[in-house]
Structure 1
Amino acid sequence: MVNDISRENRTLKEELEKLKSVRNKEKNKKLDKNLCITGLISDESDKENLQNKLHSLFQASEVTVPESEYKVLENIETRNGMKTVISLQNKDKKYVILKTRAKKGKITISSVGVGDENTPIFINEDMSKDTYTLFKKAKDLKNMDYKHVWHRDGKILARKNDDDKPVHIKNEAMLDELLG
């Protein structure tokens, strides 16, 4: 009887993980055109200049993004200032912005021309809370011989070496195995 209950418990846990995974994929799909920009504005008083700052950021990044092609969804207070979440008209534009940002390297308030501080500006894909939590935990892999840990399209990926095939970390159980 104990074995039956134990087996049923394992089955229920597996089914619950599958349901969580499906729910998380759906949440990430809704965010697939969104970007999070942190450091562009520092507090509520900066919100009135947000459109001008976004325009300057895109111009400094050498990406043409007319105001009609994005919508500011929300500004969220974080430890490092404010995070601005924008939704673009299409995913392709998001990838162009991310690729250009990667080529540019470090972007600061002063390099964008909207202030004289060296405050860094970060541009990242938006992700669900569950994915974000798993990604933060997955960063511990960098202490375990993994050279790269990153996220793309709601997926968390890790690679030990540049030539290795990336590992797709789907859930905490898989991450625990890798950290094991």
Structure 2
Amino acid sequence: MGIKSSLDEIKRSPREIETKEENLLKYINPELKLKDVKFKILAPNKENTPILATFRSAEEKGQVMQKRKQIGKIVSNKCHMTGSQLIYLNDDLPKETRELCLAARSLTEYGYQFIWVKKGKIFARKRENDPVVRIKCMEDVKKIRQDAWVG
């Protein structure tokens, strides 16, 4: 399946990012050519609106996501923006996958410490060195919950 259309969602970003997307991406990956990225503000009248960043290639998106992981938390003032609000970069997921991801995040109540999405696929892990579980459908989430009650 691969990476979905090279899309990323920049969530809960400060309103000021509307004019400073370049600062954010340059902070994450200084080698990125900004002419190869297009931005679309999803809800222009909202204060903390998601911004969709479309990359020219899946490789460029992958580089940004990898560097983001290395950086850790991204705070607006580190990207030459006012305030100190956290900025989140997430894969842009289809509705069904987004809903499944939300359900998978509830597994923290069942002892799972790590739940993440990579290349549009959802994964979970209970502890640092435990095996990774791939969550493909809602039945996987239900089975994990059920096993947690039984075990």
Residue type at the aligned position of 2:96: D
Contact 2:110 2:145 in 1 (8 A): yes
Q: Match for residue 138 of structure 2?
A: 172
Q: Match for residue 119 of structure 2?
A: 153
The 1-side partners of 2:45 and 2:6 are apart by 21
The 1-side partners of 2:25 and 2:91 are apart by 16
* Among candidates 65, 79, 91, match of residue 125 of structure 1: 91
TM-score normalised over the length of structure 2: 0.84
Q: Match for residue 149 of structure 2?
A: none
Q: Match for residue 15 of structure 2?
A: 42
3-state DSSP of counterpart to 1:86: strand
- Unaligned stretches of 5+ in structure 1? 1-24
TM superposition outliers: structure 1 runs of 4+ over 6 Å:
77-80
More helix by share: 1
How many pairs are equivalent?
146
Q: 2:115 matched to 1:142?
A: no
Cα distance change on mapping 1:155 and 1:62 into 2, 3 Å: closer
3-state DSSP of counterpart to 1:60: helix
Q: Match for residue 91 of structure 1?
A: 58
The 2-side partners of 1:80 and 1:74 are apart by 11
Identity of aligned residues (%): 20
CA-CA distance at 1:164 after TM superposition: 2.5
Residue type at the aligned position of 2:111: D
Contact 2:135 2:141 in 1 (8 A): yes
- Unaligned stretches of 5+ in structure 2? 147-151
CA-CA distance at 1:41 after TM superposition: 3.9
Higher-Rg member (1/2): 1
Cα distance change on mapping 1:128 and 1:163 into 2, 3 Å: same
1:145-171 deviation line (CA, Å, top 9, x unaligned): 212111112211111222222111111
